[in-house]
Amino acid sequence: MVDESRAQPKSRDRPRRYNTTVPPTERPTDSTDKHHRHAAYAAETTGLLLIAFLLLALTIIRYWHAIHWSVR
């Protein structure tokens, strides 16, 4: 004899999952995000190069008297 209270419910008796009928969302195919990120990376690189050249210029100005004449 099978105890029906312990038996697994059949597939048609199981409650449906919450999002089974909702189609998966797709991201927009706009490429504006890529261009925006590229611009941000370019601006960051430009800023780092500007700081590097500024530090180089300040270092050369500061130590101009100590630079050997053959290097100048």
Residue 19 lies in a domain: no
Task: Calculate ∠ Cα 53-57-61, nearest 5°.
Answer: 170
Asked if residue 5 belongs to a domain, the reply is no
Tally the domains of the chain.
1
Domain ranges, residue 49? 32-66
Average pLDDT estimate for 14-36: 66
Residue 16 Rama label (left phi>0; alpha psi -120 to 50; beta): beta
Whether the predicted model's global pTM rises above the 0.75 cut:
no
Average per-residue pLDDT in the chain? 76
Residue 72 located in a structural domain: no
Q: What is the length of the chain?
A: 72
Confirm whether 26 is domain-assigned: no
Task: For residue 46, give every residue at least 6 positions away whose Cβ sits within 8 Å of its Cβ, in sequence order, or none.
Answer: none
Cβ contacts of 67 within 8 Å, gap of 6 or more: 60
Would you say residue 54 lies in a domain? yes
Residue 14 lies in a domain: no
Give the pLDDT score at 44: 93
